[in-house]
Structure 1
Amino acid sequence: MNRRPALLAAATLTAAAFFSLSACGGGSDDSKDSDKIAGAENDVPKSASPSSSASDDGIDRPEIKLPKDVKDVFEGSGTGDAKKDAVLEDNARRISSVTEAVTVDAKSHPALKFYSAGDALLSAANHVQGFQKKNKSFVGATRYYDRKVTFLKDGAAAVTYCMDATKTYPKDRKTGKVDRSIPSSAQDYSFYNTRLEKNEDGVWQTTAVLTTTAAKRCMP
């Protein structure tokens, strides 16, 4: 059993239907195995969560606030290449925007729409609604590592990375009870291949996500 479901590569829920909902809660997701992403060529240190509100690029970004018992940990953010670092920062913000939408009760989650578009927005909406339907959430730290950027011929970027969810635990939103009895397993390791496109505001939005769960390349 995996502690947290992987983010879907595609979704059936419309974004409009999701964003008409008033709050977030727990879920289920299936994954699709693929190391390729549309438009991407097959090329395939530790830091805490990225700055969610402040930025030196002058972009007015929505604030992302996670609960005290929830943390996203990103490794390999400082590559020394300013353009790659900008892509990785928006990739990290996108991940945390999904985490926020799952774990924080709020009428709206502007960061989710700010950092996701197209199929990736639909998959994120479906992912979050899955948690809502089961009235679930999670606590703990999720680690993201082996993060790599490849710039594509059409101007987009492909970001690949691993996720380790062995230190996260499911939470019942109604009772607040956290289940720490679930043992870690191969299902807690996922590999992501994502496509990001820079919008007119200068934000690298994630537009497509492909996921492999129980990814051997991500296991210790």
Structure 2
Amino acid sequence: MRNHKATTAAAALAAALLLTGCGGGSQGAGAKTVPGADTTGSATPSASASATPADRANRPKVTLPAGETLSFDPETTGDPVKDAVLKDNAEYVRAVDEAIADQDGKATKVAFYAKDDALVGALQWIAAVTKQGVSITGTIRYFDRQVSVRQDGAATLTYCGDETKGFTKDRKTGKVNVTPANSDSYISYALVLRKSDKGVWQATKLSSVRGDKKCQR
């Protein structure tokens, strides 16, 4: 993890087991291989994915802490299935940051949007940041979000993150740890999501590459 730079929620999931602490200098997440995270599957939604059942989910209200802003581009594509994936993924990212701000180790809202490896990583990350005594502040931008729906009904989502204006803040002093931007301020992500029986697209697997050149724009 880069010194004092706010590793975003999604990146942290992949890097959780490598975390050494924000004061430990620069550390990239490196390339992680996630089974099924490729986008070689059909870009056309399968019959099961297209026939979206009635949304029975009572989605929790997620609130980011004061001083933190997340942006997602694009938010919609015009395709109802892909738009549902994008929307639930954005709430997943927000839920992790909310849990960090609230020092909520149970992270019940995160569990609403994630399961399996993605949930385990999120809980580890939330616990690690809480122990360090910092929260996330500033503006973090997610862009080039691309969804593909596979023949098996799962979805893959890739996107980039820009942390050049996102930082950590000391909980006790309120001091924002501002650091200059560099290549590690940009991260690429690849996720696998599956729809729950309530119609929620839950993240199940995630990989990230910190410092990925394709995101440095």
Which of the residues 178, 192, 197 maps onto 1:195? Answer: 192
Deviation of 1:9 after TM superposition, in Å, equals 2.4
CA distance in 1, matches of 2:99, 2:28: 18
Deviation of 1:11 after TM superposition, in Å, equals 5.5
Deviation of 1:106 after TM superposition, in Å, equals 4.6
TM-score by length of 2: 0.81
Match of 2:57 in 1: 59
Match of 2:73 in 1: 75
Query: Conserved in 2, the CA contact under 8 Å of 1:9 and 1:32?
Result: no
Which of the residues 124, 128, 131 maps onto 2:129? Answer: 131
TM-score by length of 1: 0.80
**Map 1:91-170 → 2, pairs under 5 A:** 91-106=89-104, 108-170=106-168
Which of the residues 195, 205, 210 maps onto 1:208? Answer: 205
Match of 2:6 in 1: 4
CA distance in 2, matches of 1:82, 1:76: 14
CA distance in 1, matches of 2:90, 2:183: 23
CA distance in 2, matches of 1:184, 1:10: 19
Query: Conserved in 1, the CA contact under 8 Å of 2:39 and 2:156?
Result: no
Query: Conserved in 2, the CA contact under 8 Å of 1:148 and 1:161?
Result: yes
Deviation of 1:101 after TM superposition, in Å, equals 1.2
Counterpart AA for 1:119? D
1:52-108 deviations in Å (ceiling 9; x for gaps): xxxx94521111011121111111111010110001101111111111111234575
Matched residues, number: 193
Match of 1:87 in 2: 85
Give the direction of change, closer, same or farther, for the CA distance of 1:42–1:59 in structure 2 (3 Å limit): closer
DSSP-derived class of the 2:164 partner: coil
CA distance in 2, matches of 1:162, 1:133: 27
- Higher share in helix: 2
1:183 and 2:188 matched: no
Counterpart AA for 1:203? V
Stretches of structure 1 that go unaligned for 5 or more consecutive residues are 13-26, 45-55
Question: In angstroms, what is the RMSD of aligned CA positions?
Answer: 2.2
Counterpart AA for 2:167? Y
Higher mean alpha-carbon deviation, 102-111 vs 120-129, is at: 102-111
CA distance in 2, matches of 1:128, 1:106: 8
Stretches of structure 2 that go unaligned for 5 or more consecutive residues are 42-53
CA distance in 2, matches of 1:154, 1:81: 18
DSSP-derived class of the 1:9 partner: helix
DSSP-derived class of the 1:59 partner: coil
